[in-house]
């Protein structure tokens, strides 16, 4: 409560949770009231019914998203409620459902929720994602363990990687945020013009917009106070120049997106646009993402995470982007965060964001490209070359 949405006394809380996570939702509600919440309202979603709908609803109904729900969320966000999502469903809930049907539903939801998502991406609403394991998720991560052991082990991994397993989790979190912000300050002091990613499977150049800034958790304070939208988080991130990405990459960890596994992504970029792509697994799902709209052919996020992060060192593949993206350098296809611009306050429309080099899309899909043989070198405004990552780790120690 203090570090995620950073609940302010008297604030309403909208809690979004999978139906399998009733216990965690009740615990969160209790903690929210104890921290001064006014009202906690909970929206449960049952992923089994979601799947049944995707299999059985008429084709032309898939893209319909209830207006009352989109309007309600927007109204709460505009009314300064804090939005806390518990995630942790089955990473393969939608396995076998035709990707086109998933995309139709996904796109309908993205379109209906766009006004709300805009507020979220501009951090004009306090929001945070946290995780609680469902049996299905735990089984996917630890397939050889009995269900209760798998769930217990996944809980342990979540608490450890979220820095919640020590005597003073809030203090540990604040120290962690301080370290991330020191990294951010260093990156911002360099005045980076271009990043060059080089590994045996990736050779990619990413230009950064003139008014880009690196952002770390705890800094998302457009709401007026610091929040941490993701728990855990290990990233320092910014936005790429929309048309300034060139070269090829290969993803290094598989990912679960919209209930489908995508693995072994290979992408070629020319002047920012994706001109060729493949995936060893889930290529159809990847195609659906890339073909969402024009903006989904471009990148919207560049995030740096060392291979010695606690999530990475846990050696666990979580099949959940909240965790896996924080084990590895990642990029995102789709929308950019306007808060990654120094002049974010002047961004009022898609055109404003595009004019500053930022990308606009209905979608935002993170995928991982970090590895212990990845080097990242920056070219700064003065033309100097500065090592940022060597062998998958920060090239310089933290300067507080």
Instruction: Give the residue with the Cβ less far from Zn ion, 142 or 323.
Output: 323
C-alpha closest to that of 260 among 112, 128, 95, 389:
95
Complex with Zn ion: residue 300 or 357, whichever CB lies closer: 300
Minimum distance between the CB of residue 64 and Zn ion, rounded to whole angstroms?
A: 27
Residue 76: name the closest of 18, 37, 36 by CA.
37
Nearest residue to 217 via CA among 337, 299, 334: 337
Please check whether residue 259 is in contact with residue 91, taking contact to mean a CB–CB distance below 8 angstroms: yes
Out of 83, 303, 316, 360, which residue is the one contacting Zn ion (CB under 5 A)? Answer: 303
Work out the number of other CB atoms within 10 angstroms of the CB of residue 144.
7
Residue with tokens 């300050």: 185
* Shortest CB 323 distance to Zn ion, Å: 12
One symbol per residue from 133 to 162: x for binding Zn ion (CB under 5 A), - otherwise; what is it? ------------------------------
Q: Find the shortest distance in angstroms from Cβ 41 to Zn ion.
A: 27
Helices (H), 257-392: 283-290, 310-314, 321-324, 350-355
Alpha-carbon span 4 to 218, nearest angstrom: 9
Q: How far is the CB of 167 from Zn ion (least distance, A)?
A: 29
The alpha carbon of 143 is separated from its chain's Cα centroid by a whole number of angstroms, namely 25
For Zn ion, which residue of 76, 207, 241, 301 counts as binding (CB under 5 A)? 301
* Interactions with Zn ion, residue window 191-220 (CB under 5 A): none
Q: For residue 40, give every residue at least 6 positions away whose Cβ sits within 8 Å of its Cβ, in sequence order, or none.
A: 12, 13, 15, 29, 32, 33
Site string for Zn ion, 232-251 (x = CB under 5 A): ---x-x--------------
Q: Which residue is nearest to Zn ion (CB)?
A: 303
Measured from the CB atom, is 142 or 337 closer to Zn ion? 337
Closer residue to Zn ion in complex, CB, 237/323: 237
Q: Which of 366, 368, 376, 379 binds Zn ion (CB under 5 A)?
A: 366
Tell whether residue 299 is a contact of Zn ion (CB under 5 A).
no
Measure the CA–CA gap between 304 and 234, rounded to whole angstroms. 8
Three-state DSSP state, 83 = strand
Least distance to Zn ion, CB of residue 337, Å: 8
User: CA-to-CA distance for 193 and 383, rounded, in angstroms?
Assistant: 9
Residue selected from 62, 332, 374, 378 as contacting Zn ion according to rule CB under 5 A: 332
Q: Which of residues 37-66 bind Zn ion (CB under 5 A)?
A: none
Residues within the interface to Zn ion (CB under 5 A): 235, 237, 301, 303, 332, 366
């Amino acid at each position: 409560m203090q570090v995620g949405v950073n609940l302010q006394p008297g604030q309403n809380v909208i809690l979004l949770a999978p139906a399998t996570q009733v216990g965690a939702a009740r615990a969160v509600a209790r903690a929210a009231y104890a921290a001064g919440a006014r009202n906690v309202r909970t929206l449960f979603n049952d992923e089994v019914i979601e799947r049944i709908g995707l299999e059985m609803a008429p084709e032309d109904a898939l893209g319909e998203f209830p207006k009352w729900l989109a309007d309600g969320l927007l109204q709460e966000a505009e009314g300064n409620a804090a939005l806390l999502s518990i995630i942790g469903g089955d990473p393969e809930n939608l396995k076998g459902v035709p990707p086109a049907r998933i995309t139709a539903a996904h796109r309908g939801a993205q379109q209906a929720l766009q006004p709300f998502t805009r507020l979220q991406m501009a951090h004009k609403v306090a929001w945070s994602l946290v995780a609680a394991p469902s049996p299905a998720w735990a089984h996917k991560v630890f397939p050889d363990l009995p269900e209760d052991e798998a769930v217990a082990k996944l809980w342990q991994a979540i608490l450890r990687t979220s820095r919640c397993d020590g005597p003073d989790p809030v203090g540990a979190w604040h120290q962690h945020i301080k370290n991330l912000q020191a990294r951010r300050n260093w990156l911002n002091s360099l005045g980076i013009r271009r990043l060059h990613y080089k590994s045996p499977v990736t050779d990619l150049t990413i230009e950064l917009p003139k008014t880009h800034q690196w952002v770390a958790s705890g800094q998302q304070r457009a709401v007026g106070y610091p929040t941490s939208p993701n728990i855990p988080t290990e990233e320092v991130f910014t936005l790429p120049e929309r048309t300034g990405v060139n070269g090829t990459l290969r993803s290094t960890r598989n990912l679960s997106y919209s209930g489908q596994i995508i693995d072994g992504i290979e992408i070629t970029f020319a002047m920012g646009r994706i001109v060729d792509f493949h995936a060893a697994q889930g290529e159809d799902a990847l195609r659906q993402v890339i073909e969402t709209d024009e903006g989904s052919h471009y990148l919207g996020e560049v995030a740096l995470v060392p291979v010695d992060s606690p999530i990475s060192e846990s050696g666990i593949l979580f099949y959940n982007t909240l965790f896996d993206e924080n084990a590895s350098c990642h990029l995102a296809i789709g929308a950019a965060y306007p808060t990654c611009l120094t002049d974010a306050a002047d961004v009022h429309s898609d055109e404003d964001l595009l004019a500053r080099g930022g990308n606009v899309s209905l979608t935002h899909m993170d995928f991982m490209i970090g590895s212990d043989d990845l080097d990242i070198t920056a070219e700064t405004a003065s033309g100097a070359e500065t090592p940022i990552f060597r062998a998958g780790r920060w090239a310089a120690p933290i300067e507080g």
